């Protein structure tokens, strides 16, 4: 059986350092993602994707698997109470800079099934669109794109 994977690339008018900071800064990720990405971002460290409300609930948790700042970040990805027989899924961020642009490629692999692939595709498309708008204009999109029907 083939395990589903998502691979999504986009081009941003930003440096790899700016994109890296937006991905790994708790304060910046809160602006365009609606969650704070919290970690030391060192290999083996835990990371959490925490809501920005007063509760600060972690909706996604994982472990930082690899770091090559500002070019590559690999994390595991799972719900806080999720126990999957094959283990958590994995997200890889690859950043390639050229002049005034960065190509950001996100690979989300080891997905459970086609339904999880469809959810991931919709989610990453919304978040990465908001990230691009935020980095290029200084503001996220006027509404949360993941809230669209």
pLDDT, one tens digit per residue, over 84-107 is 888 899 999 999 999 999 999 999
Whole-angstrom Cα distance, residue 89 to residue 69?
Answer: 21
121: helix, coil or strand? helix
Whether the Cβ atoms of residue 133 and residue 141 lie closer than 8 Å to each other: yes
What mean pLDDT is predicted for residues 132-143?
97
Confidence category of residue 120, pLDDT binned at 50, 70, 90: very high
Count how many Cα atoms sit within 13 Å of the Cα of residue 142 in the half-sphere of its side chain: 0
> Whole-structure pTM over 0.85, yes or no?
yes
Bond before 132 cis per omega within 30 degrees: no
């Amino acid at each position: 059986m083939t395990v589903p994977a998502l691979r999504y690339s986009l081009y941003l008018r930003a440096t790899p350092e700016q994109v890296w900071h937006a991905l790994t800064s708790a304060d910046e990720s809160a602006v365009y993602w609606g969650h704070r990405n919290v970690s030391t971002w060192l290999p083996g460290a835990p990371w959490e994707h925490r809501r920005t409300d007063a509760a600060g609930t972690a909706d996604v948790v994982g472990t930082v698997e690899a770091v090559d700042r500002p070019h590559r970040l690999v994390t595991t990805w799972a719900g806080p109470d999720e126990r999957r027989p094959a283990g958590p899924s994995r997200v890889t961020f690859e950043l390639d800079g050229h002049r005034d642009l960065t190509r950001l490629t996100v690979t989300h692999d080891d997905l459970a099934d086609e339904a999880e692939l469809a959810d991931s595709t919709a989610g990453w498309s919304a978040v990465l669109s908001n990230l691009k708008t935020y980095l290029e204009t200084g503001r996220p999109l006027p509404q949360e794109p993941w809230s669209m029907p």
